[in-house]
Amino acid sequence: MLNKMTRDDLELLSYTKIAEMYLKENKKTMNTAELFKEICNLLGLSEAEYQEKIADFFQSLTTSKEFILLNDGKWDLKANHSVKIDINDIYEESDDGAENDEDNEEEDSYEDEEDDYDTPLEDDYNDDDLSDLTILDDSEIEEE
């Protein structure tokens, strides 16, 4: 499909859209450089343009929700991958029982600090804090 498109039609598409179509058609994973080189070939871009635009292309891939960077450093479409999470892996108990007390104390102190942030500011507000304040009239304020 991409090979049948005219250069003018391809130029209307974003690099990430062309990359998406390319990966879909070729059904293989590619690293950033290989993938962008193919896009440059399709668009007839020069080596200088390749060098100038590859960083922006990489950023587009990383921010796009259509792509996934695999462990081997190659890009593929997220649609080709499913995320499988085993709940047991997340909540798995350690085999050796309870951790040592020092680790538990560290976790407890962190949890206490975190709880402080959950307390609404209104709970810390006290009318007594305002008892020393005086309200000034416009005529009492000195101009600098």
Instruction: Assess if residue 109 is contained within a domain.
Output: no
Q: In this structure, are residues 73 and 28 in contact, taking their beta carbons and an 8 Å threshold?
A: no
Residues whose CB falls within 8 Å of the CB of residue 78, separated by 6 or more in sequence, listed in order: 65, 66, 67, 68
Q: Which residues constitute the domain of residue 66?
A: 7-80
Half-sphere exposure of 22 (CA within 13 A, CB side): 25
Amino acid 1: pLDDT: 81
pTM passes above 0.75: no
Look up residue 126 and give its amino acid. Answer: N
Instruction: Assess if residue 129 is contained within a domain.
Output: no
Nearest to 66 by CA among 108, 20, 99, 119: 20
Q: What does each C-alpha distance from 104 to 91, 94, 107, 143 come to in angstroms?
A: 17, 14, 5, 58
Beta bridge partners of 69: 75
Tally of domains within the chain? 1
Q: What is the pLDDT along the chain (144 residues), one digit of tens a residue?
A: 888 888 899 999 999 999 999 999 999 999 999 999 999 999 999 999 999 999 999 999 999 999 999 999 999 999 988 876 777 777 765 555 545 555 555 555 455 555 555 555 555 556 566 667 677 776 666 654
Q: In this structure, are residues 14 and 60 in contact, taking their beta carbons and an 8 Å threshold?
A: yes
Instruction: Assess if residue 111 is contained within a domain.
Output: no
Amino acid 36: pLDDT: 96
Instruction: Assess if residue 42 is contained within a domain.
Output: yes
Instruction: Assess if residue 133 is contained within a domain.
Output: no
| CATH number of the domain within which 22 lies | 1.10.10.1250
Residues whose CB falls within 8 Å of the CB of residue 70, separated by 6 or more in sequence, listed in order: 29, 76
Token pair for 84: 């499988």
Amino acid 69: pLDDT: 92
Amino acid 86: pLDDT: 72
